[in-house]
Amino acid sequence: MQPTGNTILITGGGSGIGRALAEALHKLGNHVIISGRRRHALDATLAANPGMSALTLDITDAASIQSFAAEAIAQFPALNAVVLNAGIMAPEDLLHHPEDLTTAENTITTNLLGPIRLTSALLPHLLQQPKATIMTVTSGLAFIPLALTPTYCATKAAIHSWTQSVRYQLRDTSVEVLELAPPYVQTELMGSQQAADPRAMPLADFINEVVNIIQTQPNATEILVERVKPLRYAEQNGAENYTAFFKQFNDAMSSH
């Protein structure tokens, strides 16, 4: 991904990783358009970053995605990059409440169907650009799941797989397909406690490392900070090691 000179749409750009990445890419000289459902969060981000733009989007609504894509293209015809960052993460108690599928269904609609639908809506436009980028945001949990949040992890694993297929299908076009897989980062994705959890990577450190990779590794298809690599490559390290690491990881995360 070229680090500057782009017109970039970032979903979920009003908070957390989305906002921090939007601000970093904005400072590099890109025109950044943030989207999300919470207009007040978008407006707060715009106020702090003159020159950014914003459009509201309900990523769970298929019809809204189609109209949103048409509006984004009409307003920003130079649009040549999309960062599919919007997502939700919530625990599920399968032992005591197996009948409650609300979290599972909402997570699949937001984290999996949302990126697929938005990419479909934007792809004809992106293919017309001299150089374009689709960046999915998955998670280290795509590679070693946190049992507390099974559907979240499953959607991120699915997006990882989907990203590989899209990358291959678009290999002879002007559209590059990247994957950003964050580790556990200090955001409010799972509530305010996560933002202050010393086990999580500070958000500023994560963004600085991501931007450095974008600037220095232009051919990288997976953007992996050092903190996420133990998760990314856990299974490749062997079955026995993976089994032990999975148990250790989940025991540690569930003990807090």
| Per-residue model confidence as pLDDT tens digits over 6-38 | 999 999 999 999 999 999 999 999 999 999 999
Can you give 145-171 as a three-state secondary structure string? CCCCCHHHHHHHHHHHHHHHHHHHHCC
Residue type, 229: K
Q: Which of 152, 168, 184, 242 is catalytic?
A: 152
Split into its structural domains, the chain has a count of 1
Q: Which of 19, 24, 26 is CA-nearest to residue 213?
A: 24
pLDDT(158) > 90:
yes
User: Does residue 162 lie within any of the structural domains?
Assistant: yes
Kindly state whether residue 249 falls inside one of the protein's structural domains: no
**184 flagged as catalytic:** no
DSSP assignment of 165-199? HHHHHTTTSSEEEEEE---SBSSSTT-HHHHT-TT
- 250 part of a folded domain: no
| Structural domain contains residue 55 | yes
Q: pTM for this structure?
A: 0.94
Distance CA(69)–CA(67), nearest Å, equals: 5
User: Is residue 186 included in any domain, yes or no?
Assistant: yes
Instruction: Give domain status of residue 236, yes or no.
Output: no
Q: Looking at the predicted structure, is the pLDDT value of residue 239 above 90? A: no
Assigned domain for 79 exists: yes
68 lies in which domain range? 7-229
- What pLDDT, on a 0 to 100 scale, did the predictor assign at position 255? 64
Q: Answer whether residue 239 is part of any domain.
A: no
> Would you give the end-to-end CA distance of the chain in angstroms?
38
Q: What CATH number corresponds to the domain at position 26?
A: 3.40.50.720
